[in-house]
Amino acid sequence: MKSRWPVIERAKPLLGTTVHIRVGGLDQPRAHAAIDAGFAAVCAVQAAMSFHDPQSEVSRLNRMAHLGAVAVSPHTYAVLARAAAIADKSNGAFDITTAPALVARGHLPRPQGAPEPDPYASGHDIILLPGHYVRFARPLWIDLGGIAKGYAVDSAIDALRRFQPRQAVVNAGGDLRVFGPACERIGLDREDGDPAVVELADGALASSAARRNGPHIGCSEPGFVSVAAPSCADADALTKVVLALGRQAAACLSAFAAHAFTAAPHRDWQTIGA
Amino acid sequence: MQTRFLLLPVAALTISVPAQATVYLSVAQAQALMFPGQTLSAAPLTLTDAQAAQIEDRSGVNVLSRQLHAWKASDGGWFIADQVVGKHEFIPIALAIDGHGAVKDIEILEYREAYGDEVRNPLWRGQFTGKTAAAKLQLTGDIQNISGATLSCKHITDGVRRLLVTYEIALASH
């Protein structure tokens, strides 16, 4: 961020990681008010979409949406709609219904009070109805962990922008979005090879590293992926598509105006979809 | 959206310079943010052996310092400035507790986690090769953002749990 503008940054533990919000070009009181609004937006997304919180809308859907339509907030509805669009363009490589497998592997806790999921359930069983109602055609468990962190970042940027900063960055544990005229430099922190830097203006970047028996279902091989996209929700979700499909993800990335930087362990960086 | 990808050459990795801490908030600034308009009275205390043992037992987290930097707010809440053990470093945090002993707010006062030391260091200079350009580029600015393996905030939430137990054992009766 340019040093001629005042720059203020704060961080809180949220979304299971550390969320940093940095704003440039606002005086202290306005900067802190903007940052407060950004964190409040992140908290609202966390409260609505956390798989771990029995009071969240996701938990409520997992318990009851197979019994009848459940009303959700516009945020949750928007994320479900976006997840469906990405699932469609990736031929199911992005899938928010893999929670049962994640629970079986111990990566997620069993949802309290939820019915046994139908083993044949898929994203096609999530029915989005007018008025922000959602119904499940079969018992199933959804987990928005592959897209909600990115959506929280977008939500925070939207809240911050109302204060009209010159520049802003929201970074939730490596899923980040940049607002403003200046390019931000982002170090891609890869454990097993040459690090790289992405210069990004007015967009989002999310990264995922996959390991064998890790939490990424359907991942074809271990590796590191960073996706640049206009929104952080898309960047977040598309990292999983690239981990699953590798080079075959190119068409899906293009459909969302995104591209990816990938590296297999100890191998060179490659780009997909640029 | 505009992006450019730059690869760091292997030679740059041999440079080792200590990572710098980024100060976000002073204790006074955190107090003003977390208890706006209130008066905070300093109430520091030193934990006894018995208290430290009780805190470790109930929270499951080691007590590394017996010094408790606490302030009582006019509404009955408490402000505690403390350090938690991160992956590589100590991380100073501020915890606001409301009058009922529940967490009101948490702020990280300084961020020192140097994952990707070489990449994060703002003093570092190196030669870069652009992905398609033949010319070498000189990086003159900072890399102020990191994207990579997600670090859990468990160390911070463990520290907060220790401080909540500390409040119950050492502060709640004040």
Q: Measured between beta carbons, which residues in chain A are less than 8 angstroms from residue B9? A: 194
Q: What is the pLDDT of residue B80?
A: 98
How far is Cα A81 from Cα A96, in angstroms, rounded to an integer?
11
**Most B-contacting residue of A28, A185, A190, A191 (CB-CB within 10 A), to test interface:** A185
Lowest-confidence segment of A9-23, A109-123, A255-269 by average pLDDT: A255-269
> From chain B, which residues contact A within 8 Å (Cβ)?
1-10, 13, 22, 24-25, 33, 106-108, 111, 113, 115-116, 118-120, 128, 131, 139, 141-153, 156-157, 160
Q: Are B124 and B15 in contact (CB under 8 A)?
A: yes
Kindly state the percentage of chain A with pLDDT values over 70: 94
- In B98-159, the DSSP E strands lie at 103-108, 110-111, 127-130, 136-138, 145-148
Q: Smallest CA–CA separation between B102 and chain A, in Å?
A: 16
Task: Taking residues B6-25, report their average pLDDT.
Answer: 56
Quote the CA–CA distance of A78 and B37 in Å, as a whole number.
38
Burial class (CB in 10 A: 0-12, 13-18, 19+), A153: buried
Under the banding of pLDDT at 50, 70 and 90, the label for residue A4 is low
Tokens 């260091």, located at residue: B121
pTM: 0.90
Q: What is the DSSP string of chain A?
A: --TTS-EEEEEEEETTEEEEEEEESS-HHHHHHHHHHHHHHHHHHHHHH-SS-TTSHHHHHHHHTTTS-EE--HHHHHHHHHHHHHHHHTTTSS-TT-HHHHHHTTSSPPPTTPPPPPTT--GGGEEEETTTEEEESS------TTTHHHHHHHHHHHHHHTT--SEEEEEETTEEEEESSSPEEEEEE-TTS--EEEEEESSEEEEEEE-TTSS-TT--S-EEEEEEESSHHHHHHHHHHHHHHGGGGHHHHHHTT-EEEEE-TTS-EEEE--
Using a CB-CB cut-off of 8 Å, the residues of chain B touching A175 are: 147, 150
Q: In the block, which residue shows the tokens 């398609």?
A: B132
Mean pLDDT value across residues B51-77: 96
Rounded average pLDDT over A151-159: 98
**Test the A interface: residue of B5, B89, B124, B137 with most A CBs within 10 Å:** B5
The average pLDDT across A30-40 equals 97
SS3 B103: strand
Subunit contact A197:B150, Cβ cutoff 8 A? no
pLDDT band at A220 (very low <50, low <70, confident <90, very high): low
Give the residue-averaged pLDDT of A78-86: 98
A3 pLDDT higher than 70: no
The confidence band for B131, taking pLDDT boundaries of 50, 70 and 90, is very low
Yes or no, beta carbons of A9 and B22 under 8 Å apart: yes
B115 contacts in A (CB within 8 Å)? 189
Residue A216's pLDDT is what?
63
A201 at interface of B, judged by CB pairs closer than 8 A? yes
Does A32 lie at the interface with B, CB-CB under 8 angstroms? yes
Q: Which residues contact A107 (CB under 8 A, 6 or more apart)?
A: A215
Task: Reply yes or no on whether the pLDDT at B124 is more than 70.
Answer: no
Separation in Å, CA of B142 to nearest CA in chain A: 7
Q: What letters, b where the CB count within 10 A reaches 16 and e where it falls short, cover A94-133?
A: bbbbbbbbbbeeebbeebeebbebbeebbbebbeeeeebe
